[in-house]
Structure 1
Amino acid sequence: MTNKKSNTFHPALAVKNIKNHVTVVLGMDNDQYPLWVALFTNHAKSNRVLHHIITLKTGGSKAPETAEEKEMWEVLDATVLQWIYATVNNDLLETIVEEESTAMECWNRLRDIFLDNQNSRAVTLDQEFSHTSMSDFSTVAAYCQRLKTLVDQLKNVGAPVSNTRLVFQLVSGLTEAYNGVGTIIRQANPLPQFYHARSMLTLEEAGFAKSAATTASQAMYAKSSSDGSSILGPPPAPSKG
């Protein structure tokens, strides 16, 4: 009679360094909670442990029944808990660590920290969103990324922003140099998606950079042309004899 050994391998146990997958280190004073959640939940799902942090309506693992299943559940839960601890900074770690805590309990504590007082946070974030201006950023990409970050944060506190409002805010915050493309975006029917509008602005920015480079090159050429020695070289030395 052959004894069959149960297969105890689980993909989550093969993860060597969680920071290779969740590249954001979460802190109490930063605004990267939505990004951290997105990275973490995707990683947990791909390793079949999402049910350790989120109660799934369908498709979740059944409750452990045998001693072996309970032991494996505890090992996996401790693994996910270690992932959480490894991807937050020390100040936040000291706040969320509790003895005998499950991964889901820790996950929920983080959620409460970042989503507490949602109405107050929504008002503050909405005010910042409404006053975000391109003049405060060095590039179109940085300006657009800030708007997108604020939109993600507003969504997480129960105040989602529509594409229409996002695009109008994007256009209204542009500097004077972008008024032309801003008008094209505003008058488009239907209004373009945010990422399309962003691409239009990026192309305009690239055009400005190319124009500036051409102007600088022409100015340098003109300066060289006005200086005969730079074009023709130094005058010939007088002949001897």
Structure 2
Amino acid sequence: MPNTIPEKPPHTSNPPPPVFTSQPALHVTNICNFIPITLDQESAQYATWVEFFTIHACAYNVLDHIDSTVPQPSDVNDATWKRLDASVKQWIYGTIHEDLIYTIMKPGATALELWKRLEDLFQDNKHTGVIYLEQQFSNLRLENFSNMTEYYI
């Protein structure tokens, strides 16, 4: 009897291994190395922060997460896109002051939504002024004034 190896039935063949594409944006561990300023409401550095952030997003091919006019790359599946979006959100939160984090944070928001909230905050001078005054008011302490008249002035 000849020694032959039986063929595997088609239903038991192994599936091809999954294809993993490495996304450089997922490997950024310290965003502050790339964006050297922390955005806050009191300093006039919004345009500078946007420029640094946009350059970084472009270099890591995630500009579509902060610019609605840039189409989502066709070679990125939905699961990877969500992971990239989470990374961009981490970059945003990691480069803004804590007060701004609490101002723009919205559970379930995309990076683009957070980006637009920041833009609205800094581009709308009336709104920015109100938030700044609210912040100043909330930091007022009566014990820092010598009398009530000084407190009300």
TM-score band w.r.t. shorter chain: 0.5 to 0.7
Q: CA deviation at 1:78?
A: 0.6
Distance in 1 (CA, whole Å) between partners of 2:53 and 2:33 is 11
1:52 counterpart = 2:65:
yes
SS in 2 for 1:105: helix
What is the aligned partner in structure 2 of residue 19 from structure 1? 32
Q: 1:63 to 1:52 in 2, by over 3 A?
A: farther
What is the aligned partner in structure 2 of residue 6 from structure 1? 19
Gaps of 5+ in 1: 122-241
User: What's the C-alpha RMSD, in Å, of the aligned pairs?
Assistant: 2.2
Distance in 2 (CA, whole Å) between partners of 1:72 and 1:56 is 20
Q: 1:82 aligns with which of 87, 90, 93?
A: 90
Gaps of 5+ in 2: 1-13, 130-153
More helix by share: 1
Q: Which one has the largest radius of gyration?
A: 1
- Identity, in percent, stands at 39
Q: CA deviation at 1:63?
A: 8.9
Q: CA deviation at 1:2?
A: 7.2
Distance in 1 (CA, whole Å) between partners of 2:31 and 2:85 is 14
SS in 2 for 1:30: coil
SS in 1 for 2:122: helix
Paired residue type of 1:78: A
What is the aligned partner in structure 2 of residue 111 from structure 1? 119
Tell me: higher relative CO, structure 1 or 2? Use CA pairs within 8 A at least 6 residues apart.
2
Distance in 2 (CA, whole Å) between partners of 1:63 and 1:112 is 31
TM-score w.r.t. the length of structure 2 is 0.68
1:38 counterpart = 2:51:
yes
Paired residue type of 2:65: H
Structure 1 segments, 4+ long, off by >4 Å, are none
Paired residue type of 2:81: W
Q: CA deviation at 1:4?
A: 4.2
SS in 1 for 2:106: coil
Distance in 2 (CA, whole Å) between partners of 1:2 and 1:95 is 48
Distance in 2 (CA, whole Å) between partners of 1:89 and 1:117 is 19
Where in structure 2 are the equivalents of 1:1-241 lying within 5 Å?
3-57=16-70, 60-62=72-74, 69-117=77-125
SS in 2 for 1:44: helix
